[in-house]
Structure 1
Amino acid sequence: MRAAAGALLAALDEPARQRARHDFDDEPARRWLEYRPRPRPGASLADLDVTARKAAHRLLATALSPAAYAQAMAVVALEEVLDRAEGWRRGRHSGDYWVAVFGDPARDDRWAWRFEGHHLSVSMTVVDDQVSPAPIFLGANPATVRHAGRPVSRPLGPEEDLARELLDALGPAGRTAAVVADEAPADIISATRPRAPGRLDPLGVPRDRLTPTGRALLDRLVALYLDRLPPELAAREAGRLAGGELHFAWAGPAGPGQRHYYRIQGDDLLIEYDNTTEDGNHAHTVLRRPASDFGADVLAAHHAAAH
């Protein structure tokens, strides 16, 4: 990450570098999550030349597994698809993504970076060469593009399918405990808050009340989100969660093509998914660590050691 962030800054011209660089202690800019098409801190890829844009993508790739990087690139490409569906009225484009670096990756022991735009936000914080990976948001609109009834684009399909498989495996009693509302919320509940809620009630069904099949499916669903990270980081996060309590909650109808939502809560873990437009074809997903987002965990350890 240090090498890729340094290569990005070196590839930027001076005006773009000025827009991309921020102080690490600029909390409003650094603790930032925005997955709507809004102005945001950083340098826009649309304003960069090919070399600098490629450097930005290479930095993003250091934070994501190959599968998650493919999902992220599909999300970016969907901007053009959505713009066409909207009759070109809003001028959406695949260059409307922004990169920001906080601190100096070449010299500082505390620095961070973010790659963000509509339906994509990836934040990484590095302290004493320890990487704190969250939040990671991926969305898709349209969630599915079909031809003759078959999907030709569905970047977040696994996140929906595996959750439905889990819901089906719960059985009547398990579903009664897991379904916390008849209607889905309008959006993920953590939204764009710089600090995610540590606990959302009602919690749903605890993992230890599931059948062996249900527990295995819940573990696979958690692993699907952790595997957005490179293997080393994913394994570290899985080890941190091992043995901890997990809850699964669902809201809305169970049938496909209807507005629905689910979440998983654990020890410093919040996973949310929603598909809540009227036609059920606009998905949001996020992986957050409520007590550790934006490097709060590694910063606390750094301060304890340094002071």
Structure 2
Amino acid sequence: MLDGKIKIPAACRHALHALLLIIGASVMQSAMAQGFQERAKKALSEPFVGITAQGTVQPGLFEIVPSGVEMRPVTDAANAVIAAMNAEQLESLRFPVDNPQWRRWINIHKFPREGVSLREMSVPQRQAVYALLRESLSAKGYQTTRDIMRLNHHLGELVSDFTDYGEHRYWLALMGTPSATEPWGWQLEGHHLIINFFVLGDQVVMTPTFMGSEPVTARSGKYAGVEILQPEQNEGLAFMRSLSQEQQKKARIGARDEQNANKAEAFKDNTVIPYEGLPAAAMAGPQREALLALAGLHIGNMQTGHAAAKMHEISAHLDETYFAWKGDTEDESVFYYRIHSPVILIEFDHAGTIALDGPWGKPNKRHIHTVVRTPNGNDYGKDLLRQHYEAHEHGADHTHQN
């Protein structure tokens, strides 16, 4: 002790600083969770409308049409999940196809969940879920899904917390009964990973889908080398750089400085997002093709046939599509981009620091959020479900829940 002051060794000071950071982050995260619960209560009290550009749904965009994709493997895999569960798990797993559970998803880790946790499943049960994911998604989609889960384990390693984080801290819910003709689907939900997978015949609507991670690369630990969303990041930057200075000026809608730039994350089903940025109608042919290729990176998480059907739908509305950008275009720049049309909304964002070290909320390349939505009322396949009920009710008392 010198001059009445206690001299603390450097190692202890560093440990104390780290502890204070952890405590501060925990307090901030709890406050964030409380805020989301309030947002959820308000949002889920509103009837579902869908994301719109001006507050009203543009009608006639979606049709019940055969895709030609063989769905028997997906249906069989879903039935295998059901067969693997015990009675108590089935009670938690299953929901009606029009249940509001579709809309209760959220990407943060501190939030009440429904469904059955993969953490609570036996190894054979978990393998049945993975088989459902493999059959439903493309190879890329399945790999990204599993790698997000692995990175959630890595985050647990980095912050020494396997209560809030972990590879199997995800929940599965089944909507309706797997069928070749009747509507059904599944939802996988947890930290940085949400997939809503609606099925009608051989048609699929796989939105909202949320994929991301903090960090996006594991440089140590059990899953060292795992990395996600780098093509979506790098090709987005390459596309923006490929535009002329005048086009970039039109595409840019602001600086990338807020904690989170995405507009269509959790409990934003009815948000109004005006078209902004550079219209595809003002792009040259090669630029239009490059924009479609960028969209295809996000859509490519769907099984190949369903991705092709969705890309055909996007291409049909290309002249109504807009590309928007926030941020700079240097190699180390953080940024946000959006691809938006009547039938697709894709967002990519370098989000702010939440769990790792660094200034709270400062955007960085270690933390990425991506969102894919179907605007104008067809998230969760709701417009297709509406059309199906109108054509097949035959006097049945269907409950059209939101």
Please indicate, yes or no, whether the TM-score normalized by the shorter chain is above 0.5.
yes
Counterpart pick for 2:106 among 34, 55, 59: 34
In 2, distance between residues paired with 1:89 and 1:45?
14
Change (3 A) 1:126 1:91: closer
Among 296, 300, 307, the residue aligned to 2:386:
300
Structure 2 residues without counterparts, runs of 5 or longer = 1-73, 353-361, 394-402
Q: Distance in 1 between matches of 2:382 and 2:281?
A: 29
User: Does the residue aligned with 1:152 lie in a helix, a strand or coil?
Assistant: coil
- AA aligned opposite 2:265: A
User: Match for residue 209 of structure 1?
Assistant: 282
What letter corresponds to residue 341 of structure 2 in structure 1? G
Contact 1:33 1:194 in 2 (8 A): no
Q: How does 1:102-181 map to 2 (within 5 A)?
A: 102-105=175-178, 109-146=182-219, 152-181=225-254
User: Which of 1 and 2 has greater Rg?
Assistant: 2
The aligned length equals 302
Corresponding residue for residue 286 of structure 1: 371
32-41 or 76-85, larger mean C-alpha shift:
32-41
- Conserved in 1, the CA contact under 8 Å of 2:313 and 2:343? no
Instruction: Note the C-alpha offset of 1:276.
Output: 2.1
8 Å CA contact 2:214, 2:366 repeated in 1: yes
1:11 Cα offset (Å): 0.2
1:246, distance to aligned residue in structure 2 (A): 1.2
Following the alignment from structure 1 to structure 2, what is the Cα–Cα distance between the partners of residues 104 and 89? 34
Give the number of the structure whose residues are more often strand, by fraction: 1
Q: 2: distance between equivalents of 1:118 and 1:251? A: 25
Rate the CA distance shift 1:208–1:222 in 2: closer, same or farther, 3 A.
same
- Rounded Cα–Cα distance in structure 1 between residues aligned with 2:163 and 2:331: 29
Unaligned stretches of 5+ residues in structure 1: none
Distance in 2 (CA, whole Å) between partners of 1:82 and 1:225 is 24
2:283, 2:165 → 1: CA distance?
44
**Structure 1 moving runs of 4+ over 4 Å:** none
Q: 1:5 to 1:81 in 2, by over 3 A?
A: same
Higher RCO structure, 1 or 2 (CA under 8 Å, sep 6+) = 2
* Code of the aligned partner of 1:270: L
Q: 2:198 aligns to what SS in structure 1?
A: strand
1-side partners of 2:295 and 2:380: how far apart? 20
TM superposition score normalised by structure 2: 0.70
What is the rounded CA distance, in whole Å, between the counterparts of 2:372 and 2:194 in structure 1? 10
- Of residues 6-15 and 212-221 in structure 1, the stretch that sits farther from structure 2 once superposed is 212-221
Whole-angstrom CA distance in 1 between matches of 2:190 and 2:331: 28
Contact 2:179/2:201 (CA < 8 Å) preserved in 1? no
Q: Does 1:265 align with 2:340?
A: yes
- 2:148, 2:236 → 1: CA distance? 20
CA RMSD of superposed structures (Å): 2.1
CA distance in 2, matches of 1:108, 1:52: 26
Q: What do the CA deviations read for 1:40-95 (whole angstroms, capped 9, x no partner)?
A: 11000111111110111111223311012111111000012111221337541111
> Which residue of structure 2 aligns with residue 81 of structure 1?
154
Three-state SS of the structure 1 residue aligned to 2:259 is: coil
